[in-house]
Amino acid sequence: MKEMERKKAPGAKRSANVRVIRWVLGIALIATLIGVGATTFRTRVVEATSTLFSMQTPDPIPTVTAKKVPFTLKLPAIGEIIGLETVPVPTPRVQNGGLKVAWLIPEGAFVQEGTVLVRFDSTDAQLNLEREQAILESTGKKIGLQEGTVKTNEVIMSLDQKDAQSEYDFAINSMPQDEDIFSKWEIIEAKINAGVAKEKMSFISSKQKVSRRTARADMQILAIDKNKSVNEIEIAKNTLNSLELKSPKAGLALYRRDMRRDPQVGDSTWPGQVLVEIVDLSSLQARLWILEVDAAGLKKDLPVDIHMDAIPSRVFGGNIQQVAALAQPLERNSPLKYFECLVLVKTDMEDLKKIRPGMALKAEVITNQYDSVYVVPNSAVETKDGKSQVFVRKGKDFEAREVKIGDRNHGQTAVLSGLQENEVLAMRNPFEAHKVKLPDFSKGAMQQGMGGGPRVMVRMH
C-alpha cells in the first residue's frame, strides 16, 4: 500500500501544477481582453463624438419666413376661487350725521337693480326742511323791508340836503356887508348863520354816506342769511331723497352683521355704515399670483382667460380688479415673488353650481393683442445701442436691416415695421461664427469615467 501511495504522489502534484497554470493563463487572458475592449471602446467614443461635432461642411444658418399673423401676449398665472362678488350699499352722508332705520328688506330676498333696500326715518329731515323754508321766507321779507327803508332814508336825506343848501344860499345871499347900515353884531350873526348852514350840509352829506354803508352791510348780511337758507333747503331735500337705499345691481340681499347682531328697525346709523350688501350670483372672485419677473405690463382691467379642472370644457373670462403694490413670496424663505391680483370672473348659474371657493385654477392675463403683425423668434432680433435689427436674405447672403419692434414674450417678438411679407430672416447673426466646444477626451477620460470624477455617458447607435 505504501508503495502504491508513493507512485500516486508525483501524479497528483503534476495535476495541481497544471490547474494553477491554467488559472494564471485564464486571468491573464481576461485582463488582456479587458484592456483591448477598453481601448477599443475609447477609440469608438472619440471617433463617434468627433464625427458628431465635426465641421466637415459649413454651419447652416437657420432661417424663418416673415408672415403676418395674430399675436397675443399672455402672462401665465396660478390662483384659486375666492367666492361670489359682493357689493356693499353704504349709508348716505347727511348734514346731521346719523339716520334712523325705518324699514329693512328681508334678508335673502332676490332683488333687481333699483330695488329699495333700506328706508330711513324722514322726520328730522322734514322738520329741518320746513324750518329752513320758514327762515328763507322771513329773510326775504327782511330784505324787502330793508330795501324800503333804504329808499325812504335816501328820500329824507335828499330833502334834508336840499333844505340845508337853501339855508346856506339864503345866508350867503342875504348877508349884510355895509357896516354903516347894519350893526357889527348883525354882520357877525349873518356870518355865523352861513357857517352853520354850511356845516349842516356837510353833516347831512356824511350822514348820507354812513347810512348807505350801513344799509349795504345790512343787505349783505341778509343776502348771506338767504344763501345759507337756500343751501340748507337743498341739503334737506337731498337728505329726503337719500332716505331710500336702492340696489346698485341684481342679486341676493344679505345683512352685514355688526358685533354679531343683525341690523334692525330703529337702529341709528352713521355715514358710510353698511347695513345690506348685494351678492352678485353671476360673478365670481378669484385670486391670481403672477411671477414678479413676468409681471411687466400688469395693470387693472386687463382681460383674463381662466381654466378650471372642475369644468375643463369651459374657458371663463374675467378682468383684473386690483393689483398688489408689492410682490410677495408664497412660501416662507422662497426666492420667488408673486404679484397678487383680484379678478372678477363672469359665469352663469349652471356653472356656478359646480364651482366652490378654494378651487385651484390656471389663468392667462392678456397684456396685448395684435390683429396682424410679423412674429419672429427672439434670437432673430439683435438690439444694440437702443436700436433693433434683423438679418434679411439677399441672394445667397444676408444684410442687416433696422426694424421697429413691439412687445415680446419668452420666445417671440412682434415686429411692427421694417419687414415685408415672405422675406427670409436669419434666426441668428450670420456674420458671427457659430462656436461649438468639444469635450476634452485627451487626458484621462476613461480614468475619470472609472474613478471618482464626473461620468460621461455616450449612447452608441
The structural domains of the chain, ordered by start, are 122-242 (1.10.287)
In whole angstroms, give the CA distance from residue 71 to residue 417: 15
* Per-residue confidence (pLDDT) for residue 97, from 0 to 100: 62
What are phi and psi for residue 264, nearest 5 degrees? Answer: -135, 160
Residue 260 has pLDDT above 70, yes or no: no
Q: What is the pLDDT of residues 314-356, one digit of tens each?
A: 899 999 999 999 999 988 888 999 999 999 988 877 777 788 8
Mean of per-residue pLDDT scores for the chain: 80
Locate cell 416673415: which residue? 66
Tens digits of residue pLDDT in 11-30: 555 666 667 677 777 777 77
**C-alpha cell, 43:** 477609440
Predicted local confidence at residue 41, as pLDDT: 62
- Can you give the pLDDT at residue 35? 65
Which residues, in sequence order, are bridge partners of residue 110? 252
Instruction: Give the span between the Cα atoms of 201 and 290, in whole angstroms.
Output: 90
Q: Is the pLDDT of residue 54 over 60?
A: no
Q: Of residues 296 and 448, which shows the higher confidence score?
A: 296
The answer, yes or no, to whether residue 224 has pLDDT greater than 80, is yes
State residue 454's pLDDT score: 39
Residue 457's pLDDT is what?
Answer: 36
Residue 158 to residue 450: CA distance in whole angstroms = 130
- Which amino acid is it at 107? E
Residue that is written with C-alpha cell 467614443 in the block:
45
What pLDDT score does 287 carry? Answer: 92
More confidently predicted of 128 and 448: 128
- φ and ψ of 60, to 5 deg: -70, 145
Nearest-angstrom CA–CA distance, 296 and 393: 33
In the DSSP assignment, the letter for residue 246 is E
Q: What is the pLDDT of residue 456?
A: 35
| pLDDT beyond 70 at 281 | yes
Residues paired with residue 65 on neighbouring β-strands, in sequence order? 424
Where helices occur in 181-266 by DSSP H, the ranges are 184-241
The string of pLDDT tens digits covering residues 41-53 is 666 655 655 555 5
Whether 224 contacts 130, CB under 8 Å: no
Q: How confident is the model at residue 9 (pLDDT cuts 50, 70, 90)?
A: low
> Residues 186, 176: contact at Cβ < 8 Å?
yes
pLDDT of residue 460: 34
In the prediction, which pLDDT does 39 show? 66
Residue 361 is predicted with a pLDDT of: 92
